Amino acid sequence: MNKKSIIALMMFMIIGIAVITVIAIPSFSNGKKAEAIISNEEVLASEVQAVEEDMGEEKESLKEAEKEEVIEVEEEIVKYKICIDPGHQLKGNSDHEPIGPGSDKTKPKVSSGTRGVATKIPEYQINLEVSLKLRDALIEKGYDVVLTRDKNEVDLSNRQRASIATESNSDIFLRIHADGAGKESVNGIHVLCPGETDKFTVDIYEESNILSRTILEKLVQSTGARNRGISYRDDISGFNWSTVPVALIEMGFMTNKREDKLLSTEEYQYKIVEGIVEGIDAYFTE
Ligand SMILES: [Zn+2]
């Protein structure tokens, strides 16, 4: 090889290297760029994922919060159960039963009640009419209601009625009655409550007393009737067999013409219901 061709070869190689360098280096650096873009995308992707995860966590924590709220609301809505006993029935039952657990003293299972001096309507009918209205009003207010009877054709002793209140796990036991007296002029509302010294009702006396007072107060307000106060009794089978606080409401005297007529009207029955419901509300909230 002569000197000329060596120079030519060297020149060719130099140009070749230069060409390769011009072509290869940019593509090499592009590769770096591409890698950088990919890694940028990865960063973005992981950022997006992180944000999504955050949102997911937020959603979860929102769900948890909602759950807690629901539980709180459920705890706030305590459904009280009221047992209503419409006094008497179509036919009284004169068979006897003990007046309390283990008692030697007995009384007729259920008496026949009084009757309207003007209307001739029997007490058990008025008691049922008011009790059914009371049931509807209480259910509307969110209470659970148990009735000892929803018709007149039953045979239920006072002991059995108290057992219904106890076995249904009712919070209170309300007995709905109307009264009768020898004197026509006697009128007004009174409530019967277990006596403080009654050995059968030691555990329920205090609550029964509060219940009786609260209902009587509201009932007198809603009806405008005379307040005859509370009668404490230790001889009432329907009290002595009860293990839940109990009150017996004497809505008025059917032996008084005016009250007898009032008791048979829808309007007055709703006034009575209003008073009892307000009394029950006050008993559970105060
Ligand atoms: Zn009665």
d(C-alpha 188, C-alpha 179), whole Å: 9
Q: What is the DSSP letter of 187?
A: -
For residue 66, the model assigns a pLDDT of 61
| 64: three-class secondary structure by DSSP | helix
* Ligand 1: centre distance to CA 114 (Å): 7
Residue 205 CA to residue 78 CA, distance in Å, equals: 23
Q: Are residues 158 and 56 in the same domain?
A: no
How many residues are recorded in the chain?
Answer: 286
Measured CA to CA, the distance from residue 62 to residue 114 in angstroms comes to: 62
CA dihedral over 265, 267, 268, 273, signed as positive or negative: positive
Which amino acid is residue 97, in one-letter code?
A: E
* 164 plus 212 within the same structural domain: yes
236 in the same domain as 164: yes
Residues 56 and 89 in one domain: no
| Ligand 1 center from residue 88 Cα (angstroms) | 6
Q: Which amino acid, one-letter code, is at 136?
A: D
Lowest-confidence region among 14-18, 104-108, 186-190, 202-206: 14-18
Instruction: Provide the pLDDT for residue 18.
Output: 58
Separation of 246 CA from ligand 1 center, angstroms?
15
Q: How far is the CA of 103 from the centre of ligand 1 (A)?
A: 23
Q: For 192-212, what is each residue's pLDDT tens digit?
A: 999 999 999 999 999 999 999
Residue 31 has pLDDT above 90, yes or no: no
Report how far ligand 1's centroid is from the alpha carbon of 104 (Å): 24
| Helix then strand then coil, % of the chain, to nearest 5 | 55, 20, 30
The sign of the CA dihedral 235, 219, 270, 134 is: negative
Cα-Cα-Cα-Cα dihedral of 132, 137, 141, 145, to 10°?
Answer: -10
Tokens of 123: 């007490």
Domain of residue 54, residue span: 1-77
Cα–Cα distance for residue pair 159/167, rounded to 1 Å: 12
* Mean local confidence (pLDDT), 23-47: 49
Between the CA of 80 and the centroid of ligand 1 the distance, in Å, is 26
Q: Answer yes or no: do 151 and 43 share one domain.
A: no
* The pLDDT of residue 116 is above 80: yes
- The answer to whether 109 and 74 have CB atoms below 8 angstroms apart is no
Question: Domain check: are 180 and 68 in the same one?
Answer: no
- Residues near 284 by beta carbon (within 8 Å), at least 6 away in sequence: 80, 171
End-to-end CA separation in angstroms for the chain: 121
Query: In angstroms, rounded to a whole number, what is the distance separating the alpha carbons of residues 99 and 164?
Result: 16
As a whole number of Å, the CA-based R_g of the chain is 42
pLDDT bucket at 34, cuts 50 / 70 / 90: very low
55 Cα–ligand 1 center, Å? 67
pTM (two decimals): 0.74
In total, how many domains does the chain have?
Answer: 2
Residues 51, 87 within the same domain: no
Which of 16, 50, 77 is a domain's end point? 77
Residues 108 and 143 in one domain: yes
Q: What is the pLDDT of residue 68?
A: 59
- Rounded to the nearest whole angstrom, what is the distance from the C-alpha of residue 27 to the centroid of ligand 1? 107
Tell me the CA–centroid distance for residue 255 and ligand 1, in Å.
12
- Asked if 193 and 154 count as a contact pair (C-beta separation under 8 A), the reply is no
Torsion of CA 51, 53, 59, 63, to 10 degrees: -160
Q: Are 161 and 238 in contact (CB under 8 A)?
A: yes
Taking the centre of ligand 1 as the mean of its atom positions, its distance from the CA of residue 140, in whole angstroms, is 27
For residue 153, what pLDDT band results from cuts at 50, 70 and 90? Answer: very high
- Percent over 90 (pLDDT), the chain: 72
Which pLDDT does position 278 carry in this prediction? 98
The Cα–Cα gap between 186 and 188 comes to: 7
Q: Ligand 1 mean position to 89 CA, how many Å?
A: 10
The rounded Å distance from CA 123 to ligand 1 centre is: 7
State which of 55, 77, 99 marks the end of a domain.
77
How close is the Cα of 196 to the center of ligand 1, in Å? 22
Query: pLDDT band at 10, cuts 50/70/90?
Result: confident
Query: 110 CA distance to ligand 1 centroid (A)?
Result: 10
* Distances, alpha carbon 175 to alpha carbons 17, 23, 75, 88, 146, in Å: 113, 105, 29, 10, 12
Q: Ligand 1 being an ion, which residues bring their Cβ within 5 A of it?
A: 87, 113, 177
Domain closes at, from 77, 100, 135 = 77
Cα(209)–Cα(118) distance, integer angstroms: 33
Distance of CA 177 from the midpoint of ligand 1 (Å): 4
Q: Flag the least confident range among 25-39, 48-62, 98-112.
A: 25-39
Q: How many angstroms is it from 73 CA to the middle of ligand 1?
A: 41
25/123 same-domain check: no
Question: What separation in Å is there between the alpha carbon of 158 and the centre of ligand 1?
Answer: 11
